[in-house]
Amino acid sequence: MDVHTPEQRSHNMTRIRGRDTKPEMLLRRGLHATGLRFRLHGKHLPGRPDLVFPRHSAVVMVHGCFWHGHECPMFRMPATRSEFWAAKIAANRARDLRAFEALRTSDWRVLTVWECAVRGPTRLPLTEVVSSSREFILSDESERVLQGAWGRTHDCEGASDKCAAG
C-alpha cells in the first residue's frame, strides 16, 4: 500500500530529473576543475551519455542506483507495484546494456559512475571519484566502473551488467 495519494505520487515522480542530477553535477564540476572539457548529453550517441569527451573517444554514464537497478545497498525494490518496478528496472538495465555495447562497437570508451560512488553511506571521497574518472578518460582503457566503497573500483565485462568483482 502506497503512503501517498495518486496525486501526491504523481507530483513526486514529475520532480525526478533525468539529467543534471546531483551526482552528475558533482562529477562535472570536479572534471571541469581538472581542466577537462566535454559535451553534455550526447544526443547523437547511443544511450545519450551524460558526458562526452570527443578528443579522448570517451563517454561517462552517471547511473542512479535505483533507476538502473544497481546491486548495491542503495537499491531496494519497491514493495508497492513490485511487478511494474521489476519490469521497468529490467527494461532500463537491458537498454543500458544495448547502449554500452553500441558505444563499444563504435570505439567509444565507456566509464560508468554509479550514484553510490558519490552519494550515500558507502560513497568514495569525491577527489577519488574525480581522479579515477580523469585517469580513465586520459588512458587507453576501454571500460571502467566506479561504485561505492562496498564494491570498490574495478573493470567489468559489461558496465550495465551485474559485476561479480568487488
Residue 55 makes CB contacts below 8 A (sequence gap 6+) with none
Distance, CA of 70 to CA of 116 (rounded, Å): 9
Q: Is 145:159 a contact under the CB 8 Å cutoff?
A: yes
Mean pLDDT computed over every residue of the chain: 84
The answer to whether residue 82 scores a pLDDT higher than 80 is: yes
Residue 102: in which H helix or E strand, if any?
Answer: helix 82-105
Place of cell 501526491: 8
Q: Which three cell numbers stand for residue 37?
A: 572539457
> What are the pLDDT digits (tens) for 21-51?
888 999 999 999 999 999 988 888 999 999 9
Query: Which of 156, 127, 141, 140 has its CA nearest to residue 63?
Result: 156
φ and ψ of 143, to 5 deg = -160, 150
Q: Is 111:138 a contact under the CB 8 Å cutoff?
A: no
* Range in 54-63, 117-126, 152-161 the model is least confident about: 152-161
β-pair type (58-63, 109-114): parallel
CATH class of the domain at 16-146: alpha beta
Output the CA torsion 157→88→86→120 (10° steps). Answer: 70
Output the CA torsion 85→86→88→92 (10° steps). Answer: 130
Residue 159 is predicted with a pLDDT of 45
Query: Which range in 34-43, 101-110, 151-160 is most confidently predicted, on average pLDDT?
Result: 101-110
Average pLDDT of span 56-84? 88
* Domain locations in the chain as residue ranges: 16-146
State which amino acid sits at residue 50: D
Query: Which of 64, 66, 78 has its CA nearest to residue 117?
Result: 64
User: Coil, helix or strand for 128?
Assistant: helix
Average pLDDT of span 57-75? 89
